[in-house]
A and B are shown apart, each in its own frame.
Chain A
């Protein structure tokens, strides 16, 4: 068993879990939802097992480093964090409808990592610039933030779907938490994400300062993470100070997540210090 086989299996497990959550929501069969939770737990073991195995394999190749060094590895890690954060939310709020929106994101990230021809699965040695303990801290904080924003994005879509459907229309929307709850939960996720995004930018700045003597250099990825930070800061101020709720915040949360996606993927189209993320 090597890591890439294990991770491919995990991709299918996540796909299956996403199917179960959606099926259970659409056909209102709670049993499939709890099956989804168990499937997701199996996926987590495969996902983290795959990452650990990859870590070991890199040592066997004599270039040992944490599996957080390129786009492939970051996507795998991203999926893991999405699923873990989602399961915590599921446990606390005891509602599986969110799973129908969160697990597909984890599945898509895994599938993109394994299937995209532009993403290399090969374990590669680290460039001198990446040889730092800050790499691990930086990547972990960033992706916890991204995962929280991803779930807030899912919640934003849930809010808009449920909100449009005011009359007793599509019945599965009844399984969603009520609007107030979705709004509040998405707010919690955004605050959590904002804390970690700030942490990610800060650890990146400290790392840049220790590697190049400059904590900020307006590199496109840095700038885009700042743009994302501005968007979520706007959202938080609109909510805290102007009392914005519901629909408008759901839209802002969706825009914020698009900025996250651009910071993550789109910046590779532009040149800069993070180009090794390709």
Chain B
């Protein structure tokens, strides 16, 4: 028995520590300050970028403290955990006394407090019995609870309502805990990834954002078509992917997905996130003889060698780039190739798809140009699963309702005291509330008016 005393004491001290508002305030301030760091130092960039920006010393120091992925660092999550523990312990600690106040059959009224509060007074000529029958219906209509206590020289009616509103603050605290639990569930049982699907193709697995590994899906997603529309100013107006869900090769669901209107299937959410054009597999090339004007056309693909007529030699496409940079200018999509004349050195040729006349600049006898052919789009989808969302959303609802109750509704208690004095009855009305004390004055006046009007 003796042994357990020390741990008991320790537990008590720990409990008291976690039940303190000082801890809450400290944690809130530290969390606020450390969040600032995360907004000033960009998160999750490449090590090289950080090294370049901060130099070796700070790069090492910051990465030792996980500052580059701060919100997932052990110390940040530990503080969030402490806050959660603080909220839970605080709430349990205080709930027991609140519980006693709320679930009492006959509520107690703090006479001393009521005596000290704002009062309204008027006189009546009625008997006490008459006053009781006049007042009680009014109070019972306005309040959830009212009782009469007879005194030596008169009587007192106690009335109250809104006892349950004392639970509002616990709802807010519980909502924060729900948000954290929901977030935890999401990070353990959910995933967040992306996938690129060319028009007409389908996929069965996606690439996870954090790890870059494959995540297989229980079904297939096919992209039937993709469309992008623009405003006159060139700003994108809408990205639309026609998607079909396939189970065992059979289509089960069809939907057009646009930004802000995702597809939900079997707990998995599919969002429009990016798009692009596929690298052309085959390309039409034209070779123009500057002198004679004769044109030779052919189709080719990267790596295939073409024999050119006359003495022009051989041509081979060696590379495709999505955004070719020429002397600092972005030429957009372009092929590069090598022209090897029969006589002379090989030359590199750039063939931007947007500028078919680009090769004229080479001032050679032969002008080569690539023609943009009808090509396929691909759609970039973000695919997530988060089983924590319903819990997070219930936390959201609870937080709003809880804040409203905690801030703007209160437990109101009134006492209406009737005392006989020189043949008249003096009625004194006093009220207290656990919040918004200024508002109580107006409420007391209103009740006094209502009761005196009954006379």
Residues of A near any B CB (own CB < 8 A): 63, 124-125, 127-129, 131-132, 181, 184, 188, 191-192, 194-195, 198-199, 202, 205-206, 209-216, 218, 220, 223-224, 226-227, 230-231, 233-234, 237-238, 240-242, 267, 270-271
A267 to B35, CA, bound (A): 13
Given A188-B436, A210-B262, A238-B25; 15 other pairs, CB 8 A cutoff: A128-B239, A181-B438, A184-B437, A191-B403, A195-B407, A202-B399, A213-B269, A218-B38, A224-B35, A226-B35, A227-B36, A230-B31, A230-B35, A234-B32, A242-B21
Interfacial residues of chain B within 228-244, with CB under 8 A of chain A in the complex = 231, 233, 235-239
A136 to B200, CA, bound (A): 36
Asked whether, in the complex, the Cβ of A213 is within 8 Å of the Cβ of B384, the reply is: yes
A42 to B181, CA, bound (A): 50
Determine how close the nearest CB of chain B comes to the CB of A231; give it in whole angstroms.
Answer: 6
Task: Name the one of B21, B38, B407 contacting A223, with C-beta atoms under 8 angstroms.
Answer: B38
B185 contacts partner chain A, Cβ-Cβ < 8 Å: no
Hey, which chain A residues are within 8 Å of B392, CB to CB? 205, 215
B408 contacts partner chain A, Cβ-Cβ < 8 Å: yes
Asked whether, in the complex, the Cβ of B384 is within 8 Å of the Cβ of A210, the reply is: no
B24 contacts partner chain A, Cβ-Cβ < 8 Å: yes
Asked whether, in the complex, the Cβ of B236 is within 8 Å of the Cβ of A127, the reply is: yes
A189 to B235, CA, bound (A): 41
Q: 4 tightest A-B contacts by CB? A: A213-B384, A230-B32, A128-B259, A191-B407
Determine how close the nearest CB of chain A comes to the CB of B264; give it in whole angstroms.
Answer: 10
Asked whether, in the complex, the Cβ of B259 is within 8 Å of the Cβ of A214, the reply is: no
Asked whether, in the complex, the Cβ of A211 is within 8 Å of the Cβ of B39, the reply is: no
Asked whether, in the complex, the Cβ of A198 is within 8 Å of the Cβ of B235, the reply is: no
Task: Name the one of A198, A212, A213, A237 contacting B25, with C-beta atoms under 8 angstroms.
Answer: A237
Hey, which chain A residues are within 8 Å of B438, CB to CB? 181, 184
Asked whether, in the complex, the Cβ of A233 is within 8 Å of the Cβ of B35, the reply is: no
Asked whether, in the complex, the Cβ of A192 is within 8 Å of the Cβ of B407, the reply is: yes
Determine how close the nearest CB of chain A comes to the CB of B383; give it in whole angstroms.
Answer: 8
Determine how close the nearest CB of chain B comes to the CB of A11; give it in whole angstroms.
Answer: 28
Q: Contacts A238-B25, A267-B39 given: A194-B271 contact, CB under 8 Å?
A: no
A233 to B273, CA, bound (A): 35
Asked whether, in the complex, the Cβ of A131 is within 8 Å of the Cβ of B399, the reply is: no
Task: Name the one of B38, B233, B259 contacting A211, with C-beta atoms under 8 angstroms.
Answer: B259
Q: Give 9 pairs: A residue, B residue, CB < 8 Å, sorted on A.
A: A127-B236, A128-B237, A129-B259, A194-B403, A195-B407, A211-B259, A213-B382, A224-B35, A231-B28
B280 contacts partner chain A, Cβ-Cβ < 8 Å: no
A211 to B382, CA, bound (A): 10
Asked whether, in the complex, the Cβ of A210 is within 8 Å of the Cβ of B192, the reply is: no
Hey, which chain A residues are within 8 Å of B1, CB to CB? none
Asked whether, in the complex, the Cβ of B260 is within 8 Å of the Cβ of A234, the reply is: no
A195 to B36, CA, bound (A): 23
A184 to B413, CA, bound (A): 21
| Chain A residue with the shortest CB-CB distance to B438 | A184
A132 to B271, CA, bound (A): 14
| Chain B residue with the shortest CB-CB distance to A209 | B389
B320 contacts partner chain A, Cβ-Cβ < 8 Å: no
Asked whether, in the complex, the Cβ of A212 is within 8 Å of the Cβ of B271, the reply is: yes
Asked whether, in the complex, the Cβ of B29 is within 8 Å of the Cβ of A234, the reply is: yes
A234 to B29, CA, bound (A): 7
Hey, which chain A residues are within 8 Å of B399, CB to CB? 198, 202
B219 contacts partner chain A, Cβ-Cβ < 8 Å: no
Task: Name the one of B29, B35, B260, B396 contacting A205, with C-beta atoms under 8 angstroms.
Answer: B396
B40 contacts partner chain A, Cβ-Cβ < 8 Å: yes
B107 contacts partner chain A, Cβ-Cβ < 8 Å: no
B42 contacts partner chain A, Cβ-Cβ < 8 Å: yes
**Which of B40, B382, B407 gathers most chain A CB within 10 Å?**
B407
Interfacial residues of chain B within 426-455, with CB under 8 A of chain A in the complex = 436-438
Determine how close the nearest CB of chain B comes to the CB of A249; give it in whole angstroms.
Answer: 13
Q: Contacts A128-B239, A131-B259, A270-B39 given: A194-B31 contact, CB under 8 Å?
A: no
| Chain B residue with the shortest CB-CB distance to A222 | B39
Determine how close the nearest CB of chain A comes to the CB of B71; give it in whole angstroms.
Answer: 5
Asked whether, in the complex, the Cβ of A129 is within 8 Å of the Cβ of B29, the reply is: no
Hey, which chain B residues are within 8 Å of A218, CB to CB? 38, 43, 71
Hey, which chain A residues are within 8 Å of B400, CB to CB? 195, 198-199, 202
Interfacial residues of chain B within 219-263, with CB under 8 A of chain A in the complex = 231, 233, 235-239, 258-260, 262
Determine how close the nearest CB of chain A comes to the CB of B134; give it in whole angstroms.
Answer: 32
B386 contacts partner chain A, Cβ-Cβ < 8 Å: yes
Would you give the 0/1 interface string for B43-59, flagging 1 where the beta carbon is closer than 8 Å to chain A? 10000000000000000
Task: Name the one of A206, A223, A270 contacting B393, with C-beta atoms under 8 angstroms.
Answer: A206
Asked whether, in the complex, the Cβ of A237 is within 8 Å of the Cβ of B28, the reply is: yes
Determine how close the nearest CB of chain A comes to the CB of B156; give it in whole angstroms.
Answer: 29
**Which of A206, A212, A270 gathers most chain B CB within 10 Å?**
A212
Asked whether, in the complex, the Cβ of B269 is within 8 Å of the Cβ of A220, the reply is: no
Asked whether, in the complex, the Cβ of A213 is within 8 Å of the Cβ of B262, the reply is: yes
Hey, which chain B residues are within 8 Å of A267, CB to CB? 39
